[in-house]
Amino acid sequence: MQFFAGARDDAFFFDLNRFNAIVSGEVTGFNEVGEDTFAGTNTLSIVVELPKSMLGTGAIGINPNAPTTPIYSIWVETKRKQ
Amino acid sequence: MKKNLYILPILFSILLFVQCTEEITDNSIIPNATCTDGIQNGDETGLDCGGSNCAPCEDAIGGIDFSGTYMQEDQVGRPAVSIVYITPGLRDAYNTTIPSELTANFQQDMQANLLLHHPAYSTNILGQDATAFSTLLSKDVLWVGQSGITTFYDGTNILTGRRLQDDVMDFHLLLLYGGADVNNPLNDGTNGQPLLIRDGVSENDKPFLANFPYLASPF
């Protein structure tokens, strides 16, 4: 297993500003060439790498688009000390 | 404003003074913190542990004290689900709900917002009506296949994981605005239609790394 924590380039890419303009009714659609709202920004990142074999097996859930392949369900939580 | 600025120092002076007075006269205040008084005081980092005098807290890891109670404040599985499909006033509640309870509490709100974004929504390339699609979205976990190809969507494999380079937002937009036929999608910018099924940003601004930690170096 490998771990990393620190500043990295923001890995998300999306024209969020244009999407918000669409939702608010200012414009009707995206541009053919959009602008990555997150370009040039960093995030504090945690990266954990591990082989899937360490997670065990068994059907946690079903992906109806690939029903014969067992899946893991993954999410992350942020918690604040009370 | 000037009046307030003048009053503030006076108030602080009063508070400080009262505090000093109480320590002297109130017998319920213990002046010297101990490691057995059942109170987190002095420079203790937990109850009767940590700090310069007491034994380290048992759950301190790497010098960081993780003792105490932590409450969920945010959660995410698939990208951008809450910001697109959850009513702004409900997002704090959404983010403090565990995934197994999300569908029961938020599917209806997500379906309403889905139809707000795309009133003519009928079905998508997964064959889902508004109820089925919002049900899928509402349990906000990322599916990862225990074997096989890992991708959010590569034209063939659907929601078997997520690679950094996957254009996840274009797939979200395709499901929301693209209709049932992937070869004849709606809202593709042609024939007077608005362009809604892709945002025109298909890759990150910096290349990802081939090796760990994969994320590009910071600016």
Give the ipTM of the model, two decimals please.
Answer: 0.93
Calculate the CA dihedral of residues B10, B12, B18, B19 and round it to 10 degrees: -160
Please state, in angstroms and rounded to a whole number, the distance separating the CA atoms of residues B108 and B94.
13
Average pLDDT, chain B: 85
What is the rounded (10 degree) CA torsion for B196, B198, B200, B205? Answer: 130
Q: Does residue B150 belong to the interface with chain A, where contact is any CB pair within 8 Å? A: no
pLDDT digits (tens, 9 = 90+) for B118-176: 999 999 999 999 999 999 999 999 999 998 999 999 999 999 999 999 999 999 999 99
Contacts of A6 (CB under 8 A, 6+ apart): A44, A45, B218
Q: Which two tokens stand for residue B217?
A: 């170096």
Cα separation, A6 vs B198, in Å, equals 31
Out of A2, A8, A71, the one facing B217 most closely (by C-beta) is A8
Query: Which of residues 5 through 64 in chain B touch A, CB cutoff 8 A?
Result: none
Cα–Cα distances in angstroms (integers) from residue B202 to residues A5, A31, B28, B129, B164, in the given order:
26, 12, 65, 27, 12
| Residues B197 and B174: beta-carbon distance below 8 Å | yes
A66 touches chain B (CB under 8 A): yes
Determine whether the interchain pair B144/A72 forms a contact, defined as Cβ–Cβ distance below 8 Å. yes
| Nearest chain A CA: its distance from B17 CA (Å) | 29
pLDDT per position as a tens digit, A28-38:
999 999 999 99
